[in-house]
Structure 1
Amino acid sequence: MSLDLKNALPSTDELPCSDDIPVDNEDQNFLPNVLLFLLQSIWASRMDWFFGVDMAVYHTTGINPRVPVVPDGFLSLGVERKKNGKSRKSYAVWEENQVVPILTLEMVSHSPGGEYDEKMAIYTRLGVLYYVIYNPEFWRRDQHQPFEVYKLVDGNYQLQIGEPCWMPEVGLGIGRYQGVVAGIPQELLSWYNQRGDRYLTAVELAQQERSRAEQERSRAEQLADYLRSLGIDPDNLPSKQS
């Protein structure tokens, strides 16, 4: 991009942060945030990525650089976690050293939003490598699968086979699982490692640690009971002589 063109483009301070179109349901905001919070744990020590939720992405491959595309979620690599130390209002490709998102996520709602045609064409022109469409409720209506991952190959999106879908350029896999949110069973999205193991949430890790501690206490109590059965006081064991 020429310097003159870059200087003529608006800054993100001048541009709306989103398109102000309300979401159909709470999951359209909740599930992308689940992925964001999980990334904050997985990549806690990395400062070279950004995950946006319902944030405008401005680019020069459309009809007008002031007209954004607004994914439900998107991931960019090789950019600052905080732009100049501050939170982003929106994401303008020309302010990010021409780094386009490597992954976008669209969640299909009751009112079709062009996920399989219009937005796919936008992301193709933009050069988004992976395009994820999550459609758990209306996939039969749309004649697609509930969860689809497309990869841009030679200028066209190709549907990827297998779930979770491993994305080597991202270093993560993505897929669905049955979880529990506030005591309610629900299908959720998650990141996976190359072996296909799901990364656990902070809540799950805490539960896992509590379970491990309880198991250790149980083993200690069983050992103490066994020693007592042998007539040995577990609280008064002889010290080992050197």
Structure 2
Amino acid sequence: MITVPYNLPTAEDLPDGDETPVDNELQNDIPNILLNILKWIWNSREDWFWGVDMCIYYEPNIEEPIKSKSIVPDGFLALGVERLKNEGGRLSYVLWQEQVLPILVLEVVSHKYNGEYDDKLQEYQNLGILYYVIYNPLSGRRGLYKKHQSLEVYKLIDRKYELIPAISKLAENGKMFWMPEVGLGIGCERGNSGKWEREWVYWYDRSGVRYPTAEERATSAEERATSAEERAKSAEERAELERTAKEQAEIAVREASRIALQERQEKEKLAAYLKSLNINPDEI
């Protein structure tokens, strides 16, 4: 156990952001989609934290806490920490308090280049973060972005980031990277989020099966409910048809019995009349 000096600044002493606004929706949407999927996958776990646009403080400044060194990824994952610190949640992620380095950071490339492929890569590498994931919505365009794939995953090997290959080809040119230390794969493929159809970043299981979003789970649940309702309605209709058929059969039996009784009574009446005339009905 590392002993933290009592005079180090705490999260309450430090700014909870660098006041740099995101410059596209994806920098918020993608990390939040990943967070919401994690909440479902790891619903029973309390030993993880996913931060969205949150400061990671890695070097304290005791004299001027506001000058403590930090970096703000679009998203990051820490394992082996408390899921919830308190009722108000974390203000920032302070390494000398948490004592656990994030295992993964995610950056969504800005329209105005912000050093994702060089300065930030070097900084995360120096910090020793195992996985660095870059999603590039501008992939394929000219200049810097042309040589990079839409999703790249770097792994720290011998203190240096190496680009790792995708191990699974998915539908519609999607791809996935398996991360055994995390127990999840991260990848991208075309999908729909709030009626916005495009390529999104998702979590995957080891076999390359994508975990559904909350929106997809809700749609699936609604479809199952509709299907169950239709099956119930169909079963009810079959039962009603069976009841109708049974009632009709009973009516037919009663009608046949009535006719048979009527014929018997008429036959007996005729026999009695013949006998009154001294005629044996059996001889006719």
TM-fit CA distance, 1:225: 6.0
Q: Highest CA radius of gyration, 1 or 2?
A: 2
Q: 1:236 to 1:131 in 2, by over 3 A?
A: farther
For the Cα contact (< 8 Å) 1:132–1:149, is it kept in 2?
yes
Alpha-carbon distance in structure 2 between the residues aligned to 1:210 and 1:13: 43
Matches within 5 A, 1:73-222: 73-84=75-86, 86-97=88-99, 99-140=100-141, 141-142=143-144, 143-162=147-166, 163-222=175-234
Alpha-carbon distance in structure 1 between the residues aligned to 2:134 and 2:84: 27
Q: 1:139 to 1:66 in 2, by over 3 A?
A: farther
Q: Deviations over 1:1-40 (max 9, x none)?
A: 985x734432111111111111111211121111111111
TM-fit CA distance, 1:120: 0.9
Q: Is 2:72 the partner of 1:70?
A: yes
Normalised by the length of structure 2, the TM-score is: 0.73
3-state SS of 2:5 partner: helix
Identity of aligned residues (%): 47
TM-fit CA distance, 1:83: 2.1
Alpha-carbon distance in structure 2 between the residues aligned to 1:234 and 1:77: 63
Letter in 2 for 1:110: H
Equivalenced residues, count = 232
For the Cα contact (< 8 Å) 1:17–1:56, is it kept in 2?
yes
For the Cα contact (< 8 Å) 2:8–2:60, is it kept in 1?
no
Alpha-carbon distance in structure 1 between the residues aligned to 2:119 and 2:140: 17
Q: Deviations over 1:175-232 (max 9, x none)?
A: 112222232312221111111111112221121122223333444555666677xx63
For the Cα contact (< 8 Å) 1:224–1:234, is it kept in 2?
no
Letter in 1 for 2:15: P
Q: 1:138 to 1:24 in 2, by over 3 A?
A: farther
For the Cα contact (< 8 Å) 1:58–1:69, is it kept in 2?
yes
Letter in 2 for 1:232: E
3-state SS of 2:59 partner: coil
Alpha-carbon distance in structure 2 between the residues aligned to 1:83 and 1:235: 65
Per the alignment, residue 11 of structure 1 pairs with: 10
Per the alignment, residue 240 of structure 1 pairs with: none
Q: 1:234 to 1:100 in 2, by over 3 A?
A: farther
Q: Which has the higher contact order (CA 8 A, sep 6+)?
A: 1
Normalised by the length of structure 1, the TM-score is: 0.85
Alpha-carbon distance in structure 2 between the residues aligned to 1:139 and 1:56: 30
Q: 1:219 to 1:119 in 2, by over 3 A?
A: same
CA RMSD of superposed structures (Å) = 2.7
3-state SS of 2:178 partner: strand
3-state SS of 2:13 partner: coil
3-state SS of 1:110 partner: coil
